Amino acid sequence: MAREAAAESPSKHVWRFFRAGGFDQVKLDTGADFVALGEGKLDQKLWVALACPTKGLEFDPKTLELLDVDKDGRIRAPEMIAAVKWTCSLLANPDELAKGSKALPLASIKSSSAEGKQLIASAKRILEGLGKAQANQISPDDTADTKAIFAQTNFNGDGIVPVDAAGDDAVKQVLVDLIACMGSVVDRSGKPGVDAKLVDGFFAAIAAHLAWLDKADKNVRPLGDDTDAAHAAYAAVKAKVDDYFARCRLAEFDPAALEALLKEQSNHLAAAAKDLTISSDEVATLPLARFEAVKPLPLESGVNPAWAAQVAALRAKVVKPLLGDKQVLSEGDWAKIVATIAPFEAWKASIAGAEVAPLGAARVRAIAASAAKAEIAKLLEKDKALEPEFQAIAAVDKLARYYRDLAKLLDNFVSFRDFYGRRDKAVFQVGTLYLDQRSCELCLRVDDAGRHATLAGMAKTCLVYCDLTRNATGEKMTIAAAFTGGHSDNLIVGRNGIFYDRKGQDWDATITKIIDNPISIRQAFWLPYKRFVRMIEEQVAKRAAAAEAASQSKLEVAATTVASADKTAPAKVEPKKIDIGTVAALGVAVGAIGTAVASLVTGVLQLAAWQLPLVLVGVFLLISGPSVVIAWLKLRQRNLGPILDANGWAVNAMAKVNIPFGGSLTKVAALPEGAQRDLRDPYAPPKSLTAKILTWLVILAILSGIGWALWNYGVVEKVLPGKLPKSTWYQEHEAAEKKAAEEAEKKAAEGAAAPAGG
């Protein structure tokens, strides 16, 4: 509400506007304009756009990212106002914003404020780090590569400490161990390092793991340091040992079960040995040894060869230390081993600080006893102290980018000055499409042609969607191109063209979708006639297809007749004669044409000379009028808004694309000025004799009709009196005119004599 109130309040600043696209757009040329805009003094109802996407624009993506404060992928009017206000507050002369210079002079930064002084100092430090200590200006190219800026320093205010930042070797080793256990984050210098979160997590794990280690008394670790190795050997065969004694108990319970198990084992071996080879995996599925009721597990001979090594390890590391050197293991002995190992397994399952366990107990205790934690904390504090300086360095990058880009973006956001001024392409124009002897400059990148077309169709503009590919690089893109000149007769899905992006790179373009709308009044004028010709072509094609089918049928009949010629009498071949019916039909056709022309000329000759142009105009209006009116209405409604809105913009005005402006966006092929043409076409199709005869017959019929009309209406008699006899109709016409004149004279005489007689 506060922002709206500020926008509605009267402003002392005098805004200047220009007219383009059918609406008023603000000019931003002076520092006062930018300052007033940053203060929110321009009513947002006068902005051309209120939001735009950060993707799909021909603009520096880093600048767009800085403007998008809430990181939602869109730049809105409040974010733009805040950027202008901040930039103007740091420039000694906001007039320089209009220049859009590539580099920011250090002298242009306002040194009277504390923030300005910090920016100047940070800019100098950046230049020094890049080996440009004597430079008096800084560009976004200088501030873009933070790795180069901070390559020579380990402390840069990002809260991350690389390994090299530690001066003590012991602390360095702790940092190495920390990164190995917890991972790392990348420092602004590009080096791997640690931050406070990783450090706290690491030493918390060290403390937890140390407390867990201290719980391991003799009951937990019955073999001391050898307990870990003993447990590994125990765990490797525990399942198989349990399986062996379970089979023995089952055999003791039911001797029949023993026979079934032994038979199953024999069948398995027989199946596995069909190719006389038994893999270790197949053998490993068998029990540890041949089992019987109440039989101890052999630890030497009779052990499954696939498990011999594991059983030997169990005997050496577990059985011998706990029970003595035994050659067999009873089920009771095995139960003692399980009970002895159980506390260690429970303790192992409750491990804490598992992240640092790979370091080993000795290393964990050494780190816990050292002062590494305090030393690393000091390094982090030292780096953190430089954060304000880095923030100033980031602000230098931001100011340099705004100094270069802000004015241009405003001319594509607050107004569409670049687009309508034609001095430069707008940020939403991605390149130029060459197709069907035209070049289209209003091309926008789209992500989903179908979704875009749903809203863009409201623009009343002929839009052609093309898939673009660059085979050399594998890049792909989809664009929507507006055709605002020429006609749409040859725009067909599947046609190919060439697209040139803003970098001059060429792409293969293929039409995938068309939104057809009138392109020009000229196209609309000729559209009914083209449709009429197309209708005739379709009818001719249908009749030709029917005739072809009939001809094919006759050919099949003829082929059948020839095939059975030996079974029938030969047909008598009659000499080819002239078809009198055909000749009569041609005569009737020519006569009809002549009669029609004569009737038309007769009707025209009855009109006064001034009426002839009106009749001609009327005929054209009757045929082309509706199409032209519809096209005129649509062309008046053609606007840019829906096309951009479908791409994520929030266009705030009826940005029209009228016929003259549309003509500047789409160029139609034209010969260069002064070009010479040779109209002789060596490949022109030859004119057939039949076509010439028919043409002359039609011309003769037309001339005959005109001649008859001229003779019948007495035009010939007036031009060549007495040379030709008068037609009956003309004689009757003369007699009627003479009689009418006599009656008129008689009435006039009677009217003049009436007063005298009274």
DSSP tag of 575: P
Identify whether residues 714 and 732 lie together within a single domain. yes
pLDDT of 683 reads 77
Identify whether residues 186 and 331 lie together within a single domain. yes
pLDDT of 621 reads 62
Lowest-confidence region among 76-80, 361-365, 543-547 = 543-547
Yes or no: say if 443 and 433 are a contact pair by the CB < 8 Å rule: yes
pLDDT of 348 reads 86
Closest CA to 416 of 14, 8, 23, 13: 23
pLDDT of 7 reads 44
pLDDT of 467 reads 96
Q: Please report the DSSP string for 609-665 in residue order.
A: TTHHHHHHHHHHHHHHHHHHHHHHHHHHH-BSHHHHHTTT--B-S--B--HHHHHHH
Identify whether residues 17 and 38 lie together within a single domain. yes
pLDDT of 47 higher than 60: yes
C-alpha 619/C-alpha 617 separation (Å) is: 5
pLDDT of 369 reads 92
Report if residue 264 sits inside a domain.
yes
Identify whether residues 245 and 110 lie together within a single domain. no
Instruction: Find the angle CA(63)-CA(69)-CA(71) to the nearest 5 degrees.
Output: 90
Identify whether residues 193 and 48 lie together within a single domain. no
pLDDT of 382 reads 87
Work out the percent of the chain whose per-residue pLDDT is above 90: 39
Core vs surface per residue 194-212: b (16+ CB within 10 A) or e? bbbebbebbbebbbbbbeb
pLDDT of 35 reads 95
pLDDT band at 39 (very low <50, low <70, confident <90, very high): very high
H or E element that contains 466 = strand 462-470
C-alpha 539/C-alpha 748 separation (Å) is: 62
Residues 104-132 have pLDDT tens digits of: 999 999 999 889 998 998 898 888 878 88
pLDDT of 589 higher than 60: no
pLDDT band at 247 (very low <50, low <70, confident <90, very high): confident
- How do strand 17-20 and strand 23-26 relate by DSSP bridges? antiparallel
**Residue 5 Rama label (left phi>0; alpha psi -120 to 50; beta):** alpha
Identify whether residues 134 and 255 lie together within a single domain. no
Residues 131-145 have pLDDT tens digits of: 888 999 999 998 887
pLDDT of 38 higher than 90: yes
Yes or no: say if 705 and 598 are a contact pair by the CB < 8 Å rule: yes
Residues 446-455 have pLDDT tens digits of: 999 999 999 9
Report if residue 552 sits inside a domain.
no
pLDDT of 175 reads 92
**167 burial level (CB within 10 Å; 0-12, 13-18, 19+):** exposed
pLDDT of 750 reads 76
pLDDT band at 623 (very low <50, low <70, confident <90, very high): low
What residues contact 283, with CB distance under 8 A and at least 6 apart?
272, 304, 305, 306
Report if residue 200 sits inside a domain.
yes
Domains of the chain: total: 3
Closest CA to 653 of 635, 643, 638, 640: 640
Identify whether residues 109 and 191 lie together within a single domain. no
Report if residue 514 sits inside a domain.
no
pLDDT band at 537 (very low <50, low <70, confident <90, very high): low
**Residue 330 is part of which domain span?**
159-385
Identify whether residues 297 and 398 lie together within a single domain. no
Which domain-ending residue is among 395, 419, 443? 419
C-alpha 650/C-alpha 455 separation (Å) is: 13
Query: To the nearest whole number, what is the mean pLDDT of the chain?
Result: 82
Yes or no: say if 345 and 231 are a contact pair by the CB < 8 Å rule: yes
Report if residue 630 sits inside a domain.
no
Q: What is the largest CA-CA distance in the chain?
A: 174
C-alpha 41/C-alpha 245 separation (Å) is: 91
Report if residue 133 sits inside a domain.
yes
Residues 203-225 have pLDDT tens digits of: 999 999 999 988 888 888 888 88
Report if residue 413 sits inside a domain.
yes
C-alpha 27/C-alpha 294 separation (Å) is: 102
Closest CA to 138 of 150, 125, 148: 125
SS3 573: coil
pLDDT of 604 reads 57
Tell me which residue has tokens 């009228």: 658
C-alpha 212/C-alpha 205 separation (Å) is: 10
The winner for highest mean pLDDT among 421-430, 709-718, 727-736 is 421-430
Identify whether residues 198 and 332 lie together within a single domain. yes
pLDDT of 538 higher than 80: no
pLDDT band at 257 (very low <50, low <70, confident <90, very high): low
Q: Please report the DSSP string for 160-190 in residue order.
A: EEEGGG--SHHHHHHHHHHHHHH--EE-TTS
Mean pLDDT of the region 700-705? 73
Mean pLDDT of the region 715-737? 69
Mean pLDDT of the region 561-584? 54
| Residue of 630 and 287 predicted with greater confidence | 287
Yes or no: say if 433 and 479 are a contact pair by the CB < 8 Å rule: yes
Identify whether residues 272 and 233 lie together within a single domain. yes
Alpha helices in 657-688 (DSSP H): 659-665
Residues 152-203 have pLDDT tens digits of: 667 777 889 998 888 888 999 999 999 999 999 988 777 899 999 999 999 9
Closest CA to 598 of 705, 682, 684, 698: 705
Yes or no: say if 612 and 501 are a contact pair by the CB < 8 Å rule: no
Yes or no: say if 524 and 631 are a contact pair by the CB < 8 Å rule: yes
pLDDT band at 280 (very low <50, low <70, confident <90, very high): low
Residues 489-512 have pLDDT tens digits of: 889 999 999 999 999 999 999 999
Core vs surface per residue 545-564: b (16+ CB within 10 A) or e? eeeeeeeeeeeeeeeeeeee
Identify whether residues 90 and 167 lie together within a single domain. no
Closest CA to 424 of 403, 407, 399, 401: 407
pLDDT of 268 higher than 70: no
pLDDT of 217 reads 81
pLDDT of 4 reads 42
pTM (2 decimals)? Answer: 0.61
Report if residue 599 sits inside a domain.
no
Instruction: Find the angle CA(328)-CA(330)-CA(332) to the nearest 5 degrees.
Output: 150
C-alpha 479/C-alpha 465 separation (Å) is: 6
| Residue of 182 and 713 predicted with greater confidence | 182
Identify whether residues 122 and 233 lie together within a single domain. no
Closest CA to 638 of 485, 417, 510: 485
**Token pair belonging to 274:** 């069909």
Alpha helices in 9-139 (DSSP H): 31-38, 61-67, 77-90, 114-129
Rg (CA), the chain: 49
Work out the percent of the chain whose per-residue pLDDT is above 70: 77
